[in-house]
Amino acid sequence: GDDFHAPCGTPLRAVESGRALTEYYSSVWGNRLYLSLGTINGHNYTVIYNHISKYRVGEGQFVARGDTVAYAGTTGWSTACHLHFTVLKDGDPIDPQTVL
């Protein structure tokens, strides 16, 4: 994944329409939100928002591209507010910059 500067409380937007799969706390990644984007060009994509301060959506909720899904924070192993953004392609992490 990649780190993106985001002051605490910055709204984090859905990169594409999808369904919130899971939200939970990890000691490393802090508050995490998994957003399933479904199948795109024959591949299954899921994105993960890490270190968030507060959730805006709940598990199972459908969101449209651009909807606020969470807010930037500094939970877990983080030294400052930011977003650590991960993209999974068919369950494997890939460089987010290749698809953004």
List active site positions: 82
How many angstroms from the chain centroid is the CA of residue 20?
10
SS3 at position 27: coil
| Cα distances (Å, whole numbers) of residue 63 to 26, 29, 60, 76 | 23, 22, 10, 25
Query: Is the sign of the CA dihedral 45, 56, 58, 26 positive or negative?
Result: positive
